[in-house]
């Protein structure tokens, strides 16, 4: 045990702020970025043989996030989806993690197009960050997806316009030596598609973010009809969503959610605020219809909520009378039960509406006693603590909360549970399988399900990591993961630069966030090999100096002693050795006194 001096904070003293707006965090909203040059390291990957099929696992396994896969066949590469992940707590300061596309850049001339399954950010978010480096390949998708992509693209004015081509379910695309077909997919985003890529040895089928419409386990006729296209097909390989592999039974039907929430909209007294994912467009449209049918007006709050629903109205997916959607100001003139507010922020996102309501920082909206907040969402893993705090603050502000935890009927997943997945596999009947869209343990469980219920053996299922290349041999018989990997370094958007993640920088940021820093400046006399004056010390985030005079003066004298000891060892001053000695001595001393390891920065000025 070390002896820690009590650095007690005085109740009356307010911490001094170091700048004018101590609480204002600068957020990188610049959509003008550049790339850090990275060395090419994919050259050792052997050329693909004729008729072999390769699946490039660029992102989306070992995580739920930046989905991006590609099929390489003969001289062609077809990209499937292009997602990204917003800043993650593990990498402080990083704005987004994007797919590592270096292999695609090196094989740019083979790219025949980018097919996008649906408009969720984990499938489209990466487009602005990679499209230029890929040479602007044509993006193929359905109307809503293309619309969401284009609306987002205008926020990046330095990029060229996108080349897009609208597809329908019945479309057949000739891309290089393959034909690409589509089928309807049930998900929380309208216009979702499954993709079929024809090859000589059978089809490659891609189904991410998929669930099966069902009524208490009875599969809907529409699904049976959709999947009947696989009756006489020879499916060589399929890739499928693993998000809900741990959940037994069939997924909850959207019909149940509609019924439950419709009842809540009709019966809740006072003001109702519905918080849901802005991306769950189908469901939000259905809630809005209900509110309007009940004679209520609708207020949309939150940038992504307004944007997505505006697109839905533009495309005719949501049909509303002209005066049905009103502003907050207009709503405040109405009786509280005459309108419903649709808001973002169910995961406690920092700048979203709910958080601002909870913090009382929303400019136009204030929570009132008697308000009801309905969370039509479940908590995304990793956000539990933040959501708990949010609920606590909302409750303290007087709101009544209805959540998925207290009423399962208010939310349904967009991803199939085990029975959904079993049913899908029994329709597609692939020869080989790659589970995707999930953490490693989910992929392994998905393999077990495939082996237990679909007759595949362990070697028929590939458990992959990002950077893996899965290959089916030219005769269609062998299925393996190549030993050679694609460049799989984590690519991040850090400020306005895109490049590989620097572990050293991230480690420093982590340290700074837990212990702050101490800058020590020493003025050294070359002649006397002593310090000319007591060292200057600046700290931030380490300790409150005004209340730690003893510690500061102890550090000053330790620095002086340590530096002079080192300099007395020889006739000349070696700055590196001097820094090393002071760094070590002061680091140990600070830790023994405070239990903290702040970053120590030494600055030595030599005076003659």
Name the nearest CA neighbour of 3 among 592, 558, 556. Answer: 592
Query: Least distance (Å) from Zn ion to the CB of residue 121?
Result: 9
User: Which CB sits closer to Zn ion, 100 or 282?
Assistant: 282
Q: Where does residue 503 rank: exposed (0-12), middle (13-18), buried (19+ CB within 10 A)?
A: exposed
Q: Is residue 142 involved in binding Zn ion (CB under 5 A)? A: no
User: Which CB sits closer to Zn ion, 53 or 309?
Assistant: 309
Give how many residues touch Zn ion by CB under 5 A.
3
Query: Least distance (Å) from Zn ion to the CB of residue 279?
Result: 7
User: Which CB sits closer to Zn ion, 122 or 494?
Assistant: 122
Residue window 196-215: x/- pattern of binding to Zn ion, with contact defined by CB under 5 A:
-------------x------
User: Which CB sits closer to Zn ion, 282 or 393?
Assistant: 282
User: Which CB sits closer to Zn ion, 102 or 243?
Assistant: 243
Query: Least distance (Å) from Zn ion to the CB of residue 83?
Result: 7
Q: Is residue 415 involved in binding Zn ion (CB under 5 A)? A: no
Query: Least distance (Å) from Zn ion to the CB of residue 66?
Result: 10
* The one segment of 114-122, 449-457, 489-497, 565-573 that binds Zn ion by CB under 5 A: 114-122
Q: What is the DSSP string of 491-525?
A: EEEETTEEEE--HHHHHHHHHHHHH-EEEEEEEEE
C-alpha distances out from residue 580 to 49, 223, 559, 573, 587, Å: 56, 69, 12, 13, 10
Give every CB contact of residue 588 below 8 A, 6+ residues apart in sequence. none
Q: What is the DSSP string of 543-587?
A: --GGG-HHHHHHHHHHHHHHHHHHHTTSSS--HHHHHHHHHHHHH
Name the nearest CA neighbour of 165 among 194, 145, 190, 187. Answer: 145
Residue 276 belongs to what H/E stretch?
strand 272-276
Residue of 120, 271, 297, 422 that binds Zn ion (CB under 5 A): 120
Query: Least distance (Å) from Zn ion to the CB of residue 304?
Result: 14
* The one segment of 12-20, 50-58, 117-125, 418-426 that binds Zn ion by CB under 5 A: 117-125
Q: Is residue 122 involved in binding Zn ion (CB under 5 A)? A: yes
Q: Which of residues 369-408 bind Zn ion (CB under 5 A)?
A: none
Q: Is residue 66 involved in binding Zn ion (CB under 5 A)? A: no
User: Which CB sits closer to Zn ion, 181 or 209?
Assistant: 209
Q: Is residue 76 involved in binding Zn ion (CB under 5 A)? A: no
* Strand runs labelled E in 157-226: 164-166, 172-175, 178-184, 193-199, 202-207, 214-215, 218-219
| Distance, CA of 234 to CA of 10 (rounded, Å) | 75
* The one segment of 120-128, 494-502, 523-531, 595-603 that binds Zn ion by CB under 5 A: 120-128
CB 210 within 8 A of CB 194: yes
Q: Are strands 218-219 and 214-215 parallel, antiparallel or unpaired?
A: antiparallel
Q: Which of residues 209-248 bind Zn ion (CB under 5 A)?
A: 209
Q: Is residue 191 involved in binding Zn ion (CB under 5 A)? A: no
CB 272 within 8 A of CB 374: yes
Q: Is residue 254 involved in binding Zn ion (CB under 5 A)? A: no
| Distance, CA of 471 to CA of 478 (rounded, Å) | 8
| Distance, CA of 464 to CA of 471 (rounded, Å) | 12
Query: Least distance (Å) from Zn ion to the CB of residue 122?
Result: 4
Query: Least distance (Å) from Zn ion to the CB of residue 437?
Result: 6
User: Which CB sits closer to Zn ion, 244 or 539?
Assistant: 244
User: Which CB sits closer to Zn ion, 380 or 601?
Assistant: 380
| Cβ atoms within 10 Å of 226's Cβ, excluding its own | 19
Distance from chain centroid for Cα 608: 55
Q: Is residue 81 involved in binding Zn ion (CB under 5 A)? A: no
Query: Least distance (Å) from Zn ion to the CB of residue 239?
Result: 13
* The one segment of 104-112, 113-121, 212-220, 568-576 that binds Zn ion by CB under 5 A: 113-121
C-alpha distances out from residue 551 to 542, 543, 583, Å: 12, 10, 17
Query: Least distance (Å) from Zn ion to the CB of residue 81?
Result: 8
Token pair of 12, please? 């009356």
| Binding positions for Zn ion, rule: CB under 5 A | 120, 122, 209
């Amino acid at each position: 045990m070390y002896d820690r001096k009590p650095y007690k904070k005085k109740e009356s003293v307010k911490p001094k702020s170091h700048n004018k707006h101590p609480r204002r965090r600068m957020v990188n909203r610049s959509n003008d970025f550049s790339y850090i040059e990275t060395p090419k390291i994919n050259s050792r990957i052997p050329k693909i043989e004729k008729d072999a099929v390769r699946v490039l696992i660029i992102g989306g396994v070992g995580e739920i996030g930046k989905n991006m896969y590609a099929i390489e066949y003969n001289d062609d590469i077809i990209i499937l989806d292009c997602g990204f992940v917003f800043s993650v707590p593990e990498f402080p300061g990083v704005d987004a993690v994007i797919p590592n596309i270096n292999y695609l850049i090196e094989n740019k001339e083979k790219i025949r197009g980018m097919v996008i399954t649906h408009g969720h950010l984990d499938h489209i978010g990466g487009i602005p960050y990679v499209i230029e480096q890929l040479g602007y390949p044509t993006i193929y998708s359905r109307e809503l997806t293309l619309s969401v992509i284009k609306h987002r693209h205008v926020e990046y004015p330095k990029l060229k316009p996108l080349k897009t081509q609208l597809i329908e379910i019945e479309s057949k695309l000739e891309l290089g030596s393959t034909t690409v077909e589509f089928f309807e997919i049930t998900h929380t985003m309208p216009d979702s598609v499954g993709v079929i890529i024809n090859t000589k040895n059978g089809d490659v089928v891609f189904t991410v973010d998929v669930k099966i419409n069902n009524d208490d386990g009875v599969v809907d006729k529409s699904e049976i009809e959709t999947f009947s296209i696989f009756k006489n097909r020879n499916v060589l390989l399929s890739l499928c969503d693993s998000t809900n592999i741990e959940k037994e039974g069939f997924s909850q039907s959207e019909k149940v959610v509609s019924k439950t929430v419709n009842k809540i909209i009709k019966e809740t007294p006072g003001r109702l605020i519905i918080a849901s994912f802005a991306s769950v467009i189908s469901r939000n449209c259905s809630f809005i219809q209900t509110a309007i049918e009940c004679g209520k007006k609708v207020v949309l709050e939150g940038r992504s909520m307004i944007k997505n629903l505006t697109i839905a109205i533009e495309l005719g997916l949501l049909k509303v009378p002209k005066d049905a959607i009103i502003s907050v100001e207009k709503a405040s003139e109405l009786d509280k039960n005459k309108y419903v507010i649709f808001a973002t922020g169910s995961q406690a996102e920092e700048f979203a509406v709910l958080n601002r309501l909870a913090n009382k920082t929303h400019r136009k909206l204030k929570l009132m006693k008697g308000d009801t907040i309905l969370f039509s969402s479940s908590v995304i893993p990793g956000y539990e603590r933040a959501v708990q705090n949010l609920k606590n603050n909302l409750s303290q502000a007087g709101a009544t909360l209805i959540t998925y935890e207290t009423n399962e009927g208010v939310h349904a997943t967009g991803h199939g549970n085990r029975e959904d997945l079993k049913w899908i596999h029994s329709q597609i009947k692939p020869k080989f399988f790659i589970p995707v869209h999930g953490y490693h343990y989910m992929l392994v469980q998905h393999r077990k399900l495939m082996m237990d219920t679909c007759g595949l053996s362990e070697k028929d299922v590939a458990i992959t990591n990002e950077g893996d290349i899965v290959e089916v041999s030219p005769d269609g018989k062998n299925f393996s993961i190549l030993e050679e990997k694609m460049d799989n370094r984590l690519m991040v958007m850090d400020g306005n630069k895109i490049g590989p993640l620097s572990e050293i920088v991230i480690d420093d940021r982590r340290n700074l966030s837990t212990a702050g820093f101490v800058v020590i400046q020493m003025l050294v006399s070359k002649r006397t090999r002593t310090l000319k004056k007591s060292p200057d010390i600046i700290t931030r985030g380490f300790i409150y100096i005004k209340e730690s005079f003893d510690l500061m003066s102890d550090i000053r004298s330790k620095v002086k002693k340590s530096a002079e000891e080192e300099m007395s060892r020889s006739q000349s001053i070696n700055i590196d050795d001097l820094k090393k000695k002071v760094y070590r001595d002061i680091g140990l001393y600070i830790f023994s006194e405070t239990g903290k390891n702040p970053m120590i920065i030494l600055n030595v000025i030599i005076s003659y």
